[in-house]
Chains A and B, each alone.
Chain A
């Protein structure tokens, strides 16, 4: 269920919503696309209420995690689908298709069928097809989740470039914090159907509103008396036992290839990551150590936000909203 989500999307802006599985990301996109009906609230496009407008007339494009290409059509035919529906002339269709084929670097793929394409190629075709429909807004539902890790960075950059070049507004949802923080002009945090924060990536990263949000952003949450603190692994270091240091036990050590990593268990039971700096050796598992951190964030006291409340947006309102009428 979604609760009191309200935000705006400006022309040409890309907003990323970051949330764990089950937070309502896909449901939100489906509501915006008209594939689900919200029980309350409205969707407005340039001030016009489109909540009751059926999907095919709404002018909002949607790209799913799995590219839902038409399997019995070629790449060209997939991209040409919407222009043909618009009954554009043959010349217009050809020009439109050629434009998006070029934009997404799909030259040479025109006559191929989806099953012969790689995951990344299929997603580029899906984006070309979505953009050829000239949507006012593009919704991206974890479009890189099924892409190999080594190709993701390249594809993310390409998507961002294309959307910027076209000036198309986009709403992107993901559970991958790196992806969300990288892509979004603004980033929102979605938990249990509620939008807990919305702001610039650095602002959101610097001020997680809850412990769960902090964890999603890569922090570890440790108890500090009655309150909780968010500590980033990059800020943790081994120190001699003394004032200000926290006792911990090394649980496991390993390497990520480039750096050594240790998992520590603090006295309150929470787990903390420690990254070795400058190739320094890490203690063996079972060793009692002391740790400190250069920086930490004191989290809000943890009470749930009142229904309907949300962190105040920092940017002026305009385009798209899903909120109380």
Chain B
């Protein structure tokens, strides 16, 4: 490989999706869980996907990996891994990709480990399956992996069942299993939601450390903007199956464009606010993905809504800084936005907590 190729491969996204759609057939109609999402993740880069429950963030990560239910799914668009189309592959063809190229960590480590199998067996399974190791070789590697994810007394832990481990320890085991075959792309689907607050930071730290050490790419799915802030290079905010704002992490926090993102940011506690100050909530409910609203999907809940928003769907547009896109007619900072903000503040409807910039 000549140096130019290396430069090119660095620049080329490891994983790229183009307008992928994942729809589920339900008795009520077609649920548009993911409705035209395009993202790129370069090697070693981490992307955070943020959204409320039902925004399609989990389905997005599973669509990329091809881990969808067998029945009742409609898939469109293209998923490319290292330049190769994998969106149309059957589960059988994906088997060589799973584990070795891409791996996933799930939300609840209690249900993602088999309760009747020793954790050592569960981790050696994939080593023996993919790398054709013998039982004892795999055990040695497993022990090393356990040490990598900071599990104390790895030899003893390998011989235990999941219920003998604490929640944080189980998630460490899950991470070790995901790391086993050295994937290039790691999906973490709300990896800390089921854990104690004190353990959450440790697990996130561990994930990002593994990512750095192994030069992996990471897609971190979460509903908590605070979580992704410290661990991602870029953030995509999802709402009703679409990406409504995407920007490098710093830009997103400093120069929020989408009122939805702004509202999300206001709903997390901040250290620089006086304690016991009231957190803002977003009124209303996430959109019905079977019958989504006609215009902007956030319009029915948006404080800055205008007629245009209700009738026409905004396209993804470019912000002033590169790599920053959003879907809004009257973004934060626009004259219409400011006009409405003045009105709302006067009426006292907006619990103003100062500008976010």
The answer to whether A binds B is no
